């Protein structure tokens, strides 16, 4: 059964499933970059009128829509698409291994600490709102992250980033001076 939850972003909705949606972690897909997608489910979902971004996580997916379509129209379509997939498939929508996006620098102890704080303290809170936060880089005391899913373009995400993420990282990792999103 699929349940929905609102998020702080009115143009984003979280769809929860008792089945595993992604066994490979959280991945974001944007309509603008959907041409070369191999995943049929995600490609079809991004083709729905008004869907601009989809984030898949372990047991939920978030859909970010455009202003010109209402949730009354889009929500039943997404639920139907999910139900149809799980009626025909017993496996997660995302299951292949994704090549690591990290470079050699992640072996650095400071970066390991940053990633640990993001994974244990920040990601669960962001996931409750239908989003995700990805580590991008650390240089000269500045942590660069990417906000995904419902957090992408949300009016309160900048405040969350500065007051929440930055404060937590500065508290747990003394080398961190600030956090920026790209």
Q: Which two tokens stand for residue 95?
A: 């299951």
Mean pLDDT across the chain, nearest whole number?
86
Q: Which pLDDT score is estimated for 19?
A: 93
5 phi and psi, to 5 degrees? Answer: -135, 140
Quote the CA–CA distance of 91 and 86 in Å, as a whole number: 8
pLDDT band at 101 (very low <50, low <70, confident <90, very high): very low
Which residues contact residue 93 at a Cβ distance below 8 angstroms, ignoring those fewer than 6 apart? 21, 22, 39, 41, 42, 56, 61, 85
> Average pLDDT of 74-92?
94
Residues 35, 62, 125, 158, Cα dihedral to 10°: 60
93 phi and psi, to 5 degrees? Answer: -65, -45
**Per-residue pLDDT tens digits for 24-46:** 888 889 998 888 888 899 999 99
Class of domain 104-181: alpha beta
- Between 131 and 3, name the one with better pLDDT: 3
For the chain, domain boundaries: 2-88, 104-181
**Per-residue pLDDT tens digits for 116-148:** 999 888 888 888 878 888 888 998 899 998 888
pLDDT at 5 over 70: yes
> Average pLDDT of 155-167?
74
Q: Is 36 exposed, middle or buried (0-12, 13-18, 19+ CB in 10 A)?
A: exposed
Tokens 């047991």, residue located: 59
Q: Which two tokens stand for residue 134?
A: 């990805």
Class of domain 2-88: alpha beta
- The answer to whether the pTM exceeds 0.95 is no
């Amino acid at each position: 059964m699929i349940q929905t939850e609102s998020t702080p972003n009115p143009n984003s909705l979280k769809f929860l499933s008792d089945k595993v949606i992604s066994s490979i972690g959280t991945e974001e897909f944007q309509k603008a970059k959907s041409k070369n997608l191999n995943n049929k489910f995600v490609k079809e979902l991004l083709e729905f009128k008004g869907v601009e971004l989809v984030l898949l996580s372990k047991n939920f997916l978030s859909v970010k829509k455009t202003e010109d379509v209402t949730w009354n129209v889009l929500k039943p379509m997404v639920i139907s698409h999910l139900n149809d997939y799980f009626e025909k498939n017993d496996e997660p929508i995302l299951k292949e291994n994704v090549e690591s996006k990290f470079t050699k620098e992640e072996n650095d102890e400071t970066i390991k600490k940053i990633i640990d704080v993001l994974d244990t303290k920040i990601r669960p809170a962001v996931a409750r709102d239908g989003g995700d936060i990805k580590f991008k880089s650390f240089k000269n005391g500045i942590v660069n992250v990417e906000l995904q899913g419902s957090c992408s373009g949300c009016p309160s995400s900048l405040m969350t980033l500065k007051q929440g993420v930055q404060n937590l990282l500065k508290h747990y990792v003394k080398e961190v001076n600030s956090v920026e999103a790209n």
